[in-house]
């Protein structure tokens, strides 16, 4: 067990699950496409365009990154599902156009009407992935590289290979009315949005509020062992060690004394040569430092003198030596009580430092007191190292400048580890105050890094999300030549994104950093359906249709493609919910929930906003900007 073993096991689990679940997603997608389009040639076209895009993304992206990390292994499955959505829109529109004209004209019309929408959805998806670049985590950037290459490849393949496949396979036409239950449902959505637009928008706003509440209740934690299914060897081993041994997690305190040999020198810690009431603190001169006798005992109770003391508001007067302060630090850490963090109350289960070696060695040498004086310490540690005591260099570096303190902690998750690490940092800085001259302390270790990573990721993710939302809004405003359309179209898309992860908070579930990466993915996906609807609505309005007829045609034809692709996305992502691997479970929950809320918003809220006049697209004069 331990972090290296857990990370190795995670990679093995990823390799074991990624292939089968990718294949399962592909099979489910092909079955759904066959059922919805009812044409084997259309299904074959999806297979010949979506699968290569995933392979290109994994191949080229993996080459750029130097391999596939645990998080980046999600990318091929995401690419497969998104690539399918584009081609389903194209094939669906082609089959409608094929009933109206010959094959060549149908291909031209299809790519003219749907091509711009597919380009914009690809662009906004890439913008969503680009926000992952804000995260200070290499795996997030690797995911962004692979997914971006794959999504871009899917667009290129669809628009280069698509026309040829449509012509060669001679895909037949089909009317939207063949999908009677979908057509009836979409017509019902139009009537509700038309007759009760205020109610629809209000319900969308209420849903957004609930999603925000869920987001506020969200518990973000990282516990590597919890990613494994119950009964996994790593999880069993971690529990066994946690129940029977001292701590399953660790942290390190590094003390930089500021000079070589500082671990054994009192002079590095002398910061006060004046009476305690003096307010001005100065760095002592070499003559003042030289006045201290090497043989002064500083392990006994009376080893401190007025000139070698600093007054600590908590610890009281302590001699300015590493060893005595390390002993005080150990005592303070062992005495911490945090029943809110750990049921055992004491979150620091064990402390190992130079003090342990010094105490044991000094006792074995028959020395007086608990700790040796400076001259004794130097000789005893040299003897310890010369007699095969390799453990010394685990706690003090060869230059004797850096001192290491090892902590054993309970496996309580990163959220609680943050609190423990904060307590440790406060104690270290309190007992080792930083004088002019360079004394520094810091807490590190894998658990410490993971615990503080959550805070950093949350702030950076918010910046990345804001950047992506702003750029997408500007793109929409430019394309539709209307700032109002850009702003209004983004509002309903906030709901699906925060709903996807907010529902996790409403149910009181925890998510880790892997799930946070999916927020950026969700934003790029959620806005796709809105683009398809608005592009088609603008086309119908510019063709002379009135508002109601334009909405009806948009829902009847483009809406049909939106529902089809949403079902494919939900099922394609949802299969991962059955995985015993926690990272894939997050994908199977968050992304399908995002798509469900996105299709509801686009089939109800967007039409309602159109009927209310909140969304207006320029029809003849492109100069309109609001």
Q: For residue range 313-322, what is the model confidence (pLDDT) as tens digits?
A: 333 444 556 7
Mean pLDDT of all residues belonging to the chain: 76
pLDDT at 447: 61
What is the DSSP-derived secondary structure letter of residue 315? Answer: T
pLDDT at 243: 67
Please give the average per-residue pLDDT across 83-109, as a whole number: 87
C-beta atoms surrounding 499 within 10 Å = 28
What topology is assigned to 3-231+450-612 in CATH?
Answer: Multidrug efflux transporter AcrB transmembrane fold (1.20.1640)
The predicted model scores a pTM of 0.72
Is pLDDT above 50 for 312? no
Is pLDDT above 90 for 191? yes
Is pLDDT above 60 for 273? no
- How many percent of the chain have pLDDT more than 90? 9
Question: How far apart, in whole angstroms, are the C-alpha atoms of residue 437 and residue 290?
Answer: 17
pLDDT band at 620 (very low <50, low <70, confident <90, very high): low
Is pLDDT above 60 for 437? no
Domain with CATH 1.20.1640.10 in the chain: 3-231+450-612
pLDDT tens digits, one per residue of 102-114: 888 989 988 887 8
Distance of CA 246 to the CA centre of its chain: 30
pLDDT at 591: 87
573 or 14: whose pLDDT is higher? 573
pLDDT band at 18 (very low <50, low <70, confident <90, very high): confident
Query: What is the DSSP track for 94-143?
Result: HHHHHTTS-HHHHHHHHHHHTHHHHHHHHHHHHHHHHGGGGSS-HHHHHH
Question: How far apart, in whole angstroms, are the C-alpha atoms of residue 611 and residue 626?
Answer: 17
Which residues make Cβ contacts (< 8 Å) with residue 68, sequence separation at least 6? Answer: 58, 62, 75, 142, 146
pLDDT at 266: 47
Please give the average per-residue pLDDT across 318-346, as a whole number: 71
Is pLDDT above 70 for 271? no
Please give the average per-residue pLDDT across 365-371, as a whole number: 62
pLDDT at 200: 93
pLDDT at 2: 64
Distance of CA 242 to the CA centre of its chain: 27
The 3-state DSSP class for residue 372 equals coil
pLDDT at 313: 34
pLDDT tens digits, one per residue of 171-181: 888 776 566 78
C-beta atoms surrounding 171 within 10 Å = 22
Least confident range from 66-70, 135-139, 224-228, 594-598: namely 224-228
pLDDT at 374: 55
pLDDT band at 278 (very low <50, low <70, confident <90, very high): very low
| Neighbour-count burial of 390, counting CB atoms closer than 10 A to its CB (0-12 exposed, 13-18 middle, 19+ buried) | exposed
pLDDT at 139: 78
Please give the average per-residue pLDDT across 591-610, as a whole number: 90
pLDDT tens digits, one per residue of 196-225: 999 999 998 888 888 888 878 777 776 676
Is pLDDT above 50 for 128? yes
Q: Are strands 249-256 and 402-409 parallel, antiparallel or unpaired?
A: antiparallel
Please give the average per-residue pLDDT across 517-535, as a whole number: 83
Nearest-10 crossing angle of helices 414-431, 446-479: 120
The 3-state DSSP class for residue 180 equals helix
Q: Could you give the residue ranges of the DSSP H alpha helices within 319-366?
A: 322-334, 354-364
Strand order in the sheet with 249-256: 350-352, 402-409, 249-256, 440-444
Structure tokens that stand for 363 in this block: 């006792």
pLDDT band at 293 (very low <50, low <70, confident <90, very high): very low
pLDDT tens digits, one per residue of 471-516: 888 888 888 888 888 888 887 888 888 887 777 777 766 777 777 7
pLDDT at 195: 93
Question: How far apart, in whole angstroms, are the C-alpha atoms of residue 273 and residue 286?
Answer: 12
Is pLDDT above 90 for 192? yes
pLDDT band at 522 (very low <50, low <70, confident <90, very high): confident
- Which range, 10-19, 194-203, 252-261, 553-562, is most confident? 194-203
pLDDT band at 624 (very low <50, low <70, confident <90, very high): very low
């Amino acid at each position: 067990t331990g972090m290296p073993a857990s990370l190795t096991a995670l990679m093995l689990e990823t390799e074991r699950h990624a292939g089968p679940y990718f294949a399962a997603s592909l099979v489910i997608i092909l079955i759904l496409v066959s059922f919805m389009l009812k044409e084997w040639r259309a299904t074959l076209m999806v297979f010949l365009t979506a699968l290569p895009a995933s392979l290109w993304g994994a191949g080229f992206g993996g080459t750029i990154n130097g391999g596939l990390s645990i998080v980046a292994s999600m990318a091929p499955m995401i690419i497969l599902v998104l690539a399918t959505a584009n081609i389903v829109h194209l094939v669906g529109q082609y089959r409608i156009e094929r009933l109206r004209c010959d094959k060549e004209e149908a291909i031209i019309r299809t790519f003219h009407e749907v091509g711009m929408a597919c380009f914009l959805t690809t662009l906004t998806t890439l913008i969503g992935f680009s926000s992952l670049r804000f995260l200070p985590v290499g795996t997030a950037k690797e995911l962004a590289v692979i997914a971006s290459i794959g999504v871009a490849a899917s667009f290129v393949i669809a628009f280069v290979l698509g026309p040829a496949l449509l012509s060669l396979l001679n895909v037949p036409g089909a009317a939207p009315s063949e999908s009677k239950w979908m057509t009836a449902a979409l017509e019902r959505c139009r009537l509700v949005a038309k007759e009760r637009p205020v109610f629809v928008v209000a319900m969308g706003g209420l849903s957004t509020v609930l999603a925000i509440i869920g987001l506020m209740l969200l518990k973000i934690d990282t516990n590597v062992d919890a990613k494994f299914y119950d009964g996994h060897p790593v999880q069993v081993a971690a529990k066994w060690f946690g129940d029977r041994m001292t701590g399953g997690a660790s942290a390190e305190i590094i003390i930089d004394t500021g000079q070589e040999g500082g671990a054994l020198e009192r002079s590095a810690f002398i910061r006060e040569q004046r009476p305690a009431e003096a307010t001005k603190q100065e760095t002592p001169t070499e003559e003042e430092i030289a006045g201290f006798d090497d043989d002064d005992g500083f392990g006994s109770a009376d080893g401190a003198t007025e000139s070698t003391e600093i007054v600590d508001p908590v610890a009281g007067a302590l001699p300015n030596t590493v060893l005595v302060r390390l002993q005080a630090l150990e005592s303070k850490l062992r005495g911490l009580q945090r029943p809110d963090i750990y049921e055992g109350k004491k979150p620091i289960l064990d402390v190992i430092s130079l003090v342990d070696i010094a105490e044991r060695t000094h006792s074995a040498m028959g020395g007086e007191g608990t700790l040796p004086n400076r001259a004794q310490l130097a000789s005893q540690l040299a003897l310890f190292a010369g007699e095969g005591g390799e453990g010394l260099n685990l706690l003090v570096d060869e230059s004797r400048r850096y001192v290491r303190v090892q902590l054993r902690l309970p496996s309580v998750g990163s959220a609680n580890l943050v609190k423990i690490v904060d307590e440790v940092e406060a104690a270290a800085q309190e007992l080792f105050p930083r004088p002019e001259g360079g004394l520094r302390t810091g807490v590190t270790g894998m658990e410490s890094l993971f615990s503080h990573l959550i805070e950093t990721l949350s702030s950076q993710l918010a910046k990345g999300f804001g950047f992506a939302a702003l750029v997408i809004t500007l793109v929409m405003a430019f394309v539709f030549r209307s700032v109002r359309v850009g702003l209004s179209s983004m509002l309903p898309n906030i709901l699906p994104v925060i709903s996807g992860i907010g529902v996790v908070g409403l149910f009181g579930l925890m998510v880790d950093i892997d799930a946070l990466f999916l927020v950026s993915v969700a934003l790029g996906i959620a806005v796709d359906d809105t683009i398809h609807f608005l592009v088609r609505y603008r086309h119908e309005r510019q063709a002379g249709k009135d508002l109601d007829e334009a909405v009806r045609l948009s829902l009847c034809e483009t809406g049909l493609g939106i529902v089809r692709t949403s079902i494919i996305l939900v099922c394609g992502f949802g299969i991962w919910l059955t995985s015993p691997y926690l990272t894939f479970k997050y994908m199977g929950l968050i992304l399908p929930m995002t798509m469900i809320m996105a299709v509801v918003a686009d089939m109800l809220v967007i039409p309602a906003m159109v009927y209310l006049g909140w969304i207006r697209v320029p029809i003849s004069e492109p100069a309109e900007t609001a």
